[in-house]
Amino acid sequence: MKFGKIFKKQMVPEWVEAYVDYNGLKRILKQIRSHTQHSKLLTRVASTASHQAEALHRSFSGLSFHHRNSGGGGDIEDQVIKVDQQDDSDSRRNKLYKTKFLKKSDEFEECFFKKLDENLNKVNRFYREKVEEVLEEAGLLDKQMDALIALRVKVKKPDDASHLNLEKHPSDKVVVDDDTSSMRTPGSVNRDMVHGIDRTSIPEEEASHIVTDIVPVSHTDGEDGSGDKQDLHEILERVKMNDALESPMSTLKGFFGDSRNDEPISKKGLKKAEEQLRLVFSEFYQKLRRLKEYSFMNLLAFSKIMKKYEKIASRNASRNYMKTVDNSLIGSSDEVNRLLERVEVTFVKHFSSGNRREGMKCLRPKVKRERHRVTFFSGFFSGCSIALIVAVVFKIESRKLMEKDYGTAYMANIIPLYSLFGYIILHMLMYSANIYFWRLYRVNYTFIFGFKQGTELGYREVFLVSTGLSVLAFICFLLNLQFDMDWKMKVHNTLPEVIPLGLVTIVLFILLCPFNIIYRSSRVFFLRSLLHCICAPLYEVTLPDFFLADHLTSQVQAIRSLELFICYYGLGEYMQRQEKCHSHGVYNVFYFVVGVIPYWLRFLQCIRRLCEENESVHGYNALKYMLTIIAVIIRTAFELRKGRNWMILALVSSGVAICMNTFWDIVIDWGLLRRHSKNPYLRDKLLVPHKSVYFAAMVVDVILRVAWMQLVLEFNLKSLHKVAVSTIISCLEIVRRGMWSFFRLENEHLNNVGKYRAFKSVPHPFHYYDNDETDDKDD
């Protein structure tokens, strides 16, 4: 594989603009090659004409021409360039590099080195900013570790906690460089993690697992007193557990003004803090690894492009320029490597009981490998699904089921039951297609959704699950068709009627199965997000939560199918093989409620975000969902009661909701229709190279939104039953939601790229009081 493809593959997607523009430099080298070849051709023609003139001169004058080889042609071009260094006007800490030619050069070579200097300055500037960020974060992590250690001692030995000191051993020093060293004082920044301090252990059961000296005062009275001491009681007075309103109870306490956390720290609270700090360290380590890879890949890109320049221009400039690159910040800085070593040591000692292998497994999760059996079974189940579809069609046609008296009623009863699985399968197929295109266009969906590395599902796995479910559903449907003659002959056989219920039971069992089978981590992630949606607004709203809630709004018919299952089997309708659920008043009430629930949950999420972030856009979004709720209620009333007045109200409310939702899809969620962007009526940055795709997507979104009006207008489609029309429109809504998902995540990814946001922010478990806050608390 060529280096250009490897370089692109290894890039952090959100940092793409901060990397060396390798392809841009290659394009300039192509221009240099074309110019060099043209110059050589002109030189060759001139040389040929000169030789002919000399030969004619020798034939008449009898003189012999002796070619003289000029000496010194070996290394006369060794010093082709000179790289000057100057301070950046914006920041004195940054150095700017500018290349000057010492020998004659053409405009293309000057353009090449100008762009090369710009890339070197850009890379160094970005690398410095990120190194400063991680150094600052390392300082915060050190204080978090001090608080964790103090709380651990307090929980395990609460009576002795006030008599313990945090002490630095005299041999532990901050190694700044080879000549100087200094001690870490209480409250100072994280010098141990930056420069490699190792802390000794405390004489307790967990002594080998922590990285700070915590010893009783009586143990240090006989020492020389050279170590710095910090009273654990003082640390505990200045620290409290962070309460980010992540649980329903903490949200309710915050709502009623009781957000203080004055309760004593229990073992359960300490364990929660340890787990949270464990996640903080893991995310911090991934950031350091990415930063190290960023440095390595850019250095390799500079080396590769300079070798290409030497080969094309025949100038020995690579060694001189690469010496400058190696002496720059990105080539000479070692802070990231030191931090990596210190994080590894700290994590292994404190969070994995000194077991380095287990600790490194947590810090460096294995990259997920593609398995051939997934591809094989995906193809196998796909073929089976197609064969079963053909079998179902032939079964219906061979028995001429739709031409018989009971055929229409039979299909009207059975289709709503099995449509639930059809909606789920179609939704999973759309999600599989989205994953494929997200990967194709390098949308970092795993980071956006917050999937744990190595546990995320690829498009092959999702496709496998969807095709497997489709095979199971079609087999059950065929079994139902097999017993349709029993219904005709009025044979009392309830076995075919309970087949759909058995299928639902199997699906729910797989979804809720606690065993580590069938992608357990993904099932747990889905159930957790679903719980957050159901309990909105008691949980903090994250992107996976409101993304799932948006998808639930496109599955209203599927949720109503669940209600139909409860009525059909709970009220015994299956015994008469007739679906008369709408004759029950309770069912009709819940028919309203179920249609509103997904939009209501999304409305509550918007209200929660409005209260937390104080951004008006969430208020407008809540208004959009409230208009949709009104439209759903009126449309459902029209569906059940009919009448001209209800139809007019349904048309008006649905029209307003459609206009509002369509505008929000295209302008807010997708970020399109920007008049003054580089791409007219789109946006500045596009991942799909063909602009027509975006215009087509906008048109399709409008059409599929308007198709929703068919449920109100009820055009007379004689060839289709009402149930079939409702099913088709619901499927079109799922397709529209799948298309919306791709462009929604593309826009989110581009926002992350613009802010170089490549890592999730994990909240720290502890909060340190400032001096002013401490005084207020004492008062």
Determine if the peptide bond prior to 537 is cis (ω within 30°): yes
The one-letter amino acid at 393: V
Look at residue 96 in the predicted model and tell me its pLDDT.
85
H or E stretch covering 639: helix 616-641
The Cα 108–Cα 221 span in angstroms is 74
CA atoms within 13 A on the CB side of 598: 18
Look at residue 388 in the predicted model and tell me its pLDDT.
92
Look at residue 517 in the predicted model and tell me its pLDDT.
86
The Cα 733–Cα 737 span in angstroms is 6
Say which residue the tokens 């699985």 belong to. Answer: 421
Q: Which of 308, 307, 313 is nearest to 40 (CA)?
A: 313
Helices 692-706 and 644-663: angle between axes, nearest 10 degrees = 160
Look at residue 554 in the predicted model and tell me its pLDDT.
92
Per-10-residue mean pLDDT of the chain, 779 residues long, equals 85 89 90 77 61 52 41 49 75 76 75 90 92 90 84 69 48 34 35 36 36 35 42 71 63 58 62 84 90 93 90 83 89 90 88 84 78 91 93 81 67 81 94 95 91 87 95 88 58 63 89 89 93 89 93 91 81 58 77 91 94 91 94 87 84 92 94 89 91 95 87 62 82 94 94 80 74 48
Look at residue 489 in the predicted model and tell me its pLDDT.
43
Look at residue 265 in the predicted model and tell me its pLDDT.
60
Look at residue 582 in the predicted model and tell me its pLDDT.
67
Helices 585-613 and 543-553: angle between axes, nearest 10 degrees = 150
DSSP state of 328: S
Segments in 513-615 forming alpha helices (H): 520-534, 543-553, 556-570, 585-613
H or E stretch covering 763: none
pTM recorded for the entire structure: 0.80
DSSP state of 498: G
The Cα 505–Cα 527 span in angstroms is 17
Look at residue 716 in the predicted model and tell me its pLDDT.
57
